[in-house]
Amino acid sequence: MPHGKHSRVLLAGPLAFKLLNPGFRANARKEARFLRQLRSTGMAPRFYFRLGRLLVMERIQGTPVRNMTPDQVRQTAPLFLKVLHQLDGLGIQKEEAHRPDKHFIHTPQGVRLLDFERARKNERPSNVTQFVNFLDRYFPGIRKLGHAYKSSYDLKPLLEFIRAKK
């Protein structure tokens, strides 16, 4: 059964059952709230219900960033940046975008984000800039544009930089 620091996940057919460890009930409530808010965006799993520390949601099948080749990361980077830009626009700070290894999934339908238990509302979220820090190993020099993004929230220069480097 896959597990992280705060939870265990059971995958069964089309469902994912996430059980947060004792003491993390508030995290379960918070994740449920963000999954409900993101339902119409398609960027997160469909949320079905919460029962105490247990969350029941859609199982996302695809390739996590940690299992991608460098070329696959380069190919999917614009898709992830667009989703993270959308998340920034909603004022949601996901956290962990600088370590997307297992929570950023590429599926045949696009890209999806998992694990919103640490997410929070923020007037100036930095999901894109966090992900740009990760991307710097695949696109050297992109970090400078990430700093510019933080002041303008304009995604176009980042996407053009990536397009020119492919």
> What are the C-alpha distances in Å from 149 to residues 79, 81, 156?
16, 11, 9
Tokens read off for 70: 């460098």
In whole angstroms, give the CA distance from residue 104 to residue 127. Answer: 12
For residue 37, report the phi and psi dihedrals to the nearest 5 degrees. Answer: -60, -35
Q: What's the confidence (pLDDT) of residue 83?
A: 98
Q: What's the confidence (pLDDT) of residue 1?
A: 54
Q: What's the confidence (pLDDT) of residue 6?
A: 80
In whole angstroms, give the CA distance from residue 112 to residue 104. Answer: 6
Q: What's the confidence (pLDDT) of residue 165?
A: 86
Q: What's the confidence (pLDDT) of residue 92?
A: 98
Q: What's the confidence (pLDDT) of residue 3?
A: 59
Q: What's the confidence (pLDDT) of residue 5?
A: 72
Q: What's the confidence (pLDDT) of residue 4?
A: 66
Instruction: Split the chain (166 residues) into runs of 10 and give each run's mean pLDDT.
Output: 77 97 93 97 97 97 97 97 98 94 95 95 96 96 92 95 89
Instruction: Write the CATH number of the domain with boundaries 63-165.
Output: 1.10.510
Q: What's the confidence (pLDDT) of residue 147?
A: 87
